[in-house]
Structure 1
Amino acid sequence: MEDFDVFTNKIHITKPIYKNILNKFAKDIPVTPFGPNYQSARKLLAEQCLMDGDEAGCAFHFSESVFATLRTMAIYRDEQIKLANDNLRKITSYIKPVQEIIEANPKTDDQLIDNLIKINDIDVTGVLDSIKTDDELPFHQRYLKFSSENNIDNFRRILKELPKEWTVIQLTAPYNPNENLKQMDEFRTEVDSIYLSVFTNDYLDDSDLGPFTINIPANQHKEGERPLFTELYSLLDENYKTIENAQFLNNKRLVQDYWAKREDIDLRMKSVINVMDKEWLGGWGSLLTGKLIDTKWKEKIKSTVQNTVSDWGLMGLNEKQMILLYNLMESCPVLSSQQLKSCIRKILTEHGNTERFRQTLTCCESCSKDFNLLNELCLKCLSKCFEAVHHFTLVDAIRAFSQLATQIKDCNEWATLKKAKRHPVILIVDEALDTFPWESTAALREHPASRMENIHFLYHLYKLHEGRVAAGHYVAGGGVGRYVINPEKNLDRMEKRMKSFVEYWCESWRGCTGCAPTPEQFIEYLNEADIFLYCGHGDGCRCAGGGSVVEGGGARGVCVLAGCGSVRLCRTQPRRPPRAAHLHLHVAGSPMVVGMLWEVTDLEVDKVVTTMMSLYVPSRQALPWSAVGKTKWSQGIIDVSPPGCPARPPHEPQLLRALGAARASTNFIMIASSVVARGLPVKNYQ
């Protein structure tokens, strides 16, 4: 029970009571709960499961803890569409609750009918029986709702149904009680760790372990340096002000200052990415990589690690430790020696058998036997426990796997592993971590990666388009293109550039240039297009009349939104759910949205977008877009006969690979890292 402290006037809730409260909250949630509160409770439940050693429960609750409001949006929009198209449903939606009450109280039918409907001379039960509607929803729609069907078994079922080519990873920020007390600008910088949940993985798929989670320290910084969250938001604010004030540059000195600030911001973003790589992810970045297309590498990695364990007599490692070692050795060519050794040590100690370590633990002064997770113990205690459990010193164990990593990095037979092609990675990113450029880290820089809001919507979009998904990719066309360019009529040079590109490379496309489409026309474009291109300020949804109109209107193709912050999460109040264009477009059914995380400049974005489109969209033009002269491009003039033209590169049907290659077309890290894809991996088979 609760213990009341007479001196502090507080109630200390004991562990069983605390767990009961959490479980009751999760079980008794309303049909459409308040998203942020629901997410906080699920994070607490996940952290409790992790302490209890319940890996599957931990991963499930974390899967429930992100973008709950998107699920509510989709449920509401689906119901509104049904009501708009079915007058009978409007009647039965009011009658059905009465029927349920009657069926639940069969002995008091007459009394209930008399009290609730006040009509005694009509056989209401007969009327109810005669009006039937098909309320049985497919499972992917039911799982969007907040019901008893959201459980661990169904969560596992979903993971098994997803395409086997996908690697699905979730990055979650821990629960922070200050979200209820502080302004958003204050608490958003207080993330001190990241939960990395592996839902599907090349090595996990072969085991019975199921999804698992590891906790990674985050926001680490050296003395005298800013915490990384503070630095990121600071440089984004400065980036916004610098670009916003560019219109007022009226002399040479101000122009020089502008470029000096842009270079400084670029260097700061490069530093942020480096810290994410070295101080945050380190060796754990190996868990973000996609499945190798050539399966021989997988089998070779497994056998090599298993031989090392056998040769060194390192018996007793659990299944989770083996899977972590497989992934680490697979990614060792891109990791430093220090990153490898640090990660090996943590795998061998902090992810060992907790109960066996607890039984052998002899605590030092700074440690306690009442620990929840092994990472709460000091290195000295962990080393002693490891030696007592495995009868092998930790130093020798680290040496064994370090030597294996060196062999893989230096041996000729492993030389091509570093550049081996991989299947897509789906990143589910917590709202608090979404601003970071994860795709620009060393682990993902060369791999096809897309973001998704949560497992519910990933599964929903997959089932919605399942008939067009093959080999892990949504099969899209590229022949039908629609565009809206410069609807606000104040980006003249961008308009000339993008109009000239579309007319040259995508001759059959049609759209609006230099004028705003009507809302009906905008929705028509979204419904007709295999690829919809928007070039202007923001995300363009205002052309349709708002996000809710887009949701109801539908969208069938890939959407490329080349505007500042076009896929940025906007949250104006501390406990208010975020808003974003891609959320509305996913509800409308769009399989993929490509856009920008923050403010960008039009020339550099035009380079990235046109490079991506020229790789992804087939064209009858003989020259590659990279070889076309662009000296007068900002005037709308393209030189189609430049000297020394290179051979045209092959068409890149996978949009995520085309996007990865397009990031290299700009020299600005701020531009390259801002462009992200959200949705299902897409392949153009045209």
Structure 2
Amino acid sequence: MEDELETVEDILKELDTVSSRTHNSRSGLSHQSLQRFKASQTDADLIRISYLVDSHASNLREKVSMRFERLLNRGDCTPDEAHVKVLKDIVVNKCNFNTTSSMADIKKMIAELPKEWTIVQITNSYNPLEETNTTFNKHFTNDLYMTVFNCGQIELDPFCITINSPWLNGVKLELLQQLTDLLQEYKDRLTSLFNRKFFKNEAEKEKYAMSGEILESTLRGITENIEKYWLQHWRCLLIGKYKDSSIENMIIEEVNNIINLHLNSLNISNKIRQVLYYLTKGASFLTSNEILAAVQHCLEDLCNANTKKLLAQAIKKLNLQITSQELYPVRNPLILVIDECLDVIPWESLQILKHDPICRMPSLHFVYFLFKEYESSIENGYKVITDYNNGNYVVNPDGNLDLMEKRIMAFLKHWMPEWKGINSRMPTNTEFNDLLKSATIFSYHGHGNGTHIMAVDTLQKIKLHTVVLLFGCASNRIQRLGPEVETYGCYHMYLMSRCPCVLGMLWQVTDLYTDLLTSEFLSNWIPSKATIPWKNVDKPTWTKARFDLNVKFEGQKGSHSNNLDLLKALAHAKNVIDSNLVCNACIVRGLPVKIKLK
């Protein structure tokens, strides 16, 4: 036939034509699957990246652009109408999508973003079995695409690595299924305890404690398997830039010298060079065999096995020179753009990430969206806030978390007495809204995320420049409500309201360990005039909440230092609290935030 489609390129062009005929074809799960299918059918790196970037959060982008369109049509965004138009155009799904203009837009965004940032996009690969899956609780562990964007420059193109699904001894590891099953078991365990209130006897209490230890160990094992068998040596790409730019420059210079020494006669692409830079930075988190595996993948048939071994040894030696000065060199923020179906994974708890400033975003478009909203207040890669004493809180609004209320209120009065709020009663919708909007920092301590108090619809109608901390169960979760249904989370509403940053939980958590994490994080992040450092307060008394709400803590007076970087302060707190199930749940969505002292 004359019109027969004979090549993959012909099919891709036809798919682009079909998907551009109607605006509705450009959003939703069908669009996401289509773009990922097209990514799987091309070997051109930049074309693949264009498809993958466009596949992220397409439905959310549609909702945000439509919301802004309504604001513009009603005249509700005066006097910043021009700015709202800019924001709408950033996230809007373009009907006439083509890879050339898309990559031009991507490069423009990356060039404008702060040079301190590194963005790593992790995308699920196309799996036709997911198209026919009608089982709500079925989760597939697929191949991954990991795309790296070096912000603030135009010289280096983004690059993409394909990571194979995990196998062990000929058996595929369904790690996503294992993780979701574990979290369901954990949720059922917490629900049964909440409904029961008391243990029948000591044996039942011990059995409950043992089951918790097993869940903790299982979560730790799943996380380790994600690193070892799924990400493998490519976890070296999950690393931000050093704050000391001279180290970055030295790595580039030394790796180029190593390439010239061992591969002088070969034409080594910029992509391979970039991968080797990242491999050098992340080599301390890899075994010697993993370093060699990464080198072998990069060079393939370009050189013999002995040359690859020499190159791997040189990279390991260079890494040791860098890390010999300090165990955890200070790095700039890493922004993870996470696929919705991979969002349940506690990426921040991976060994290579657990000490670094990490935040999440749903798509590259929304990174740029928030950057343009706060461009004037971003310094050295951080959205800065100064009035940290302007804090509001809501504590125990449902009135059935008495011990939590005692602990948190005692901490707030000791460490941040300037903060105001409501505790032990349900705020009205107006009160909650006012507390949220009028604060520089808003902290919620209760069940869920507070949307049973203030309707989420209200959120998308306001412009919110508050840093939001939600310490309730599953308060920052994004979930798919069915196999053929879009994902949803209250964070989507905060993002629509242009909120810079939301801290919260991926799943259910226990109140005691959450309170320990909360107090450790806030005392490490927020400067205080308290004469007794929080570390010197009598913790056994505080954890048991055996005091009234007017208690004044005693302890050794002394000085205390703060980590003004929200992400670093949280990483510190998560590394000192002994509960994987609570600490791994706590993540940050949005921009990196830092307190700037006046």
Output the TM-score relative to the length of structure 2: 0.92
Name which of structure 1's ranges 647-656 and 452-461 shifts more when overlaid on structure 2.
Answer: 647-656
Match of 1:240 among 179, 183, 187: 187
- Structure 2 equivalent of residue 324 of structure 1: 275
Alignment of 1:172-211 (within 5 A): 172-185=123-136, 187-188=138-139, 190-200=140-150, 205=153, 207-208=155-156, 210-211=157-158
Deviation at 1:625, TM superposition (A): 1.3
Distance in structure 1 (CA, Å) of the matches to 2:192 and 2:76: 52
Query: Would you say 1:624 and 2:571 are equivalent positions?
Result: no
Q: Which runs of 5+ in 1 are unaligned?
A: 5-11, 89-132, 350-385
Query: Would you say 1:398 and 2:308 are equivalent positions?
Result: yes
Query: Would you say 1:337 and 2:337 are equivalent positions?
Result: no
- Structure 2 equivalent of residue 506 of structure 1: 416
Deviation at 1:45, TM superposition (A): 2.4
Deviation at 1:58, TM superposition (A): 1.6
Alignment of 1:230-379 (within 5 A): 230-247=177-194, 248=196, 249-314=199-264, 315-349=266-300
Contact 2:35/2:52, CA 8 A, preserved across alignment:
yes
Match of 1:607 among 500, 505, 516: 516
- Structure 2 equivalent of residue 19 of structure 1: 12
Q: SS at the partner of 1:559?
A: strand
Query: Would you say 1:651 and 2:598 are equivalent positions?
Result: no
- The 1:636/1:556 distance shift into structure 2, 3 A limit, reads farther
Q: Which structure has the larger Rg?
A: 1
- Structure 2 equivalent of residue 153 of structure 1: 104
Contact 1:526/1:532, CA 8 A, preserved across alignment:
yes
- The 1:621/1:25 distance shift into structure 2, 3 A limit, reads farther
Contact 1:526/1:556, CA 8 A, preserved across alignment:
no
- The 1:301/1:515 distance shift into structure 2, 3 A limit, reads same
- Structure 2 equivalent of residue 554 of structure 1: 463
Distance in structure 1 (CA, Å) of the matches to 2:14 and 2:546: 65
Query: Would you say 1:450 and 2:359 are equivalent positions?
Result: yes
Match of 1:170 among 111, 121, 129: 121
Query: Would you say 1:635 and 2:586 are equivalent positions?
Result: no
Deviation at 1:168, TM superposition (A): 0.7
- The 1:66/1:680 distance shift into structure 2, 3 A limit, reads same
Alignment of 1:450-529 (within 5 A): 450-476=359-385, 477-529=387-439
Output the TM-score relative to the length of structure 1: 0.80
CA deviation map 1:534-589 (0-9, x unaligned):
111111122112x2211113322111100111111122111211111111111112
Alignment of 1:526-545 (within 5 A): 526-545=436-455
Match of 2:161 among 195, 202, 214: 214
Alignment-mate amino acid for residue 346 of structure 1 = H
Match of 1:566 among 469, 475, 480: 475
- Structure 1 equivalent of residue 49 of structure 2: 59
- The 1:542/1:83 distance shift into structure 2, 3 A limit, reads farther
Match of 2:30 among 15, 37, 45: 37
CA deviation map 1:619-673 (0-9, x unaligned):
1102221221132322356663235x6x543121110000000102321111111
Alignment-mate amino acid for residue 428 of structure 1 = V
Aligned residues with identical type, % of pairs:
26
Contact 1:35/1:69, CA 8 A, preserved across alignment:
yes
Contact 2:64/2:88, CA 8 A, preserved across alignment:
no
CA deviation map 1:345-364 (0-9, x unaligned):
11112xxxxxxxxxxxxxxx
Distance in structure 2 (CA, Å) of the matches to 1:286 and 1:254: 44
Contact 2:146/2:163, CA 8 A, preserved across alignment:
yes
Q: SS at the partner of 1:179?
A: helix
Deviation at 1:487, TM superposition (A): 1.1
Distance in structure 2 (CA, Å) of the matches to 1:341 and 1:252: 53
Alignment-mate amino acid for residue 591 of structure 2 = L
Contact 1:478/1:617, CA 8 A, preserved across alignment:
yes
- Structure 2 equivalent of residue 228 of structure 1: 175
Alignment-mate amino acid for residue 219 of structure 1 = P
Q: SS at the partner of 1:474?
A: strand
- The 1:483/1:410 distance shift into structure 2, 3 A limit, reads closer
Distance in structure 1 (CA, Å) of the matches to 2:583 and 2:278: 27
- The 1:71/1:636 distance shift into structure 2, 3 A limit, reads farther
Name which of structure 1's ranges 325-334 and 633-642 shifts more when overlaid on structure 2.
Answer: 633-642
Distance in structure 1 (CA, Å) of the matches to 2:356 and 2:170: 34
Alignment of 1:659-678 (within 5 A): 659-678=570-589
Deviation at 1:221, TM superposition (A): 3.7
Q: SS at the partner of 1:172?
A: strand
Q: SS at the partner of 1:553?
A: coil
Q: SS at the partner of 2:160?
A: strand
Distance in structure 2 (CA, Å) of the matches to 1:194 and 1:421: 28
Contact 1:428/1:455, CA 8 A, preserved across alignment:
yes
- Structure 2 equivalent of residue 374 of structure 1: none
- The 1:508/1:306 distance shift into structure 2, 3 A limit, reads same
Alignment-mate amino acid for residue 532 of structure 1 = F
| Residues matched between the structures, number | 583
- The 1:135/1:648 distance shift into structure 2, 3 A limit, reads closer
Contact 1:22/1:44, CA 8 A, preserved across alignment:
no
- Structure 2 equivalent of residue 580 of structure 1: 489
Distance in structure 2 (CA, Å) of the matches to 1:206 and 1:85: 37
Contact 1:654/1:682, CA 8 A, preserved across alignment:
yes
Q: SS at the partner of 1:165?
A: coil
Alignment-mate amino acid for residue 22 of structure 1 = L
Distance in structure 2 (CA, Å) of the matches to 1:219 and 1:487: 44
- The 1:415/1:2 distance shift into structure 2, 3 A limit, reads farther
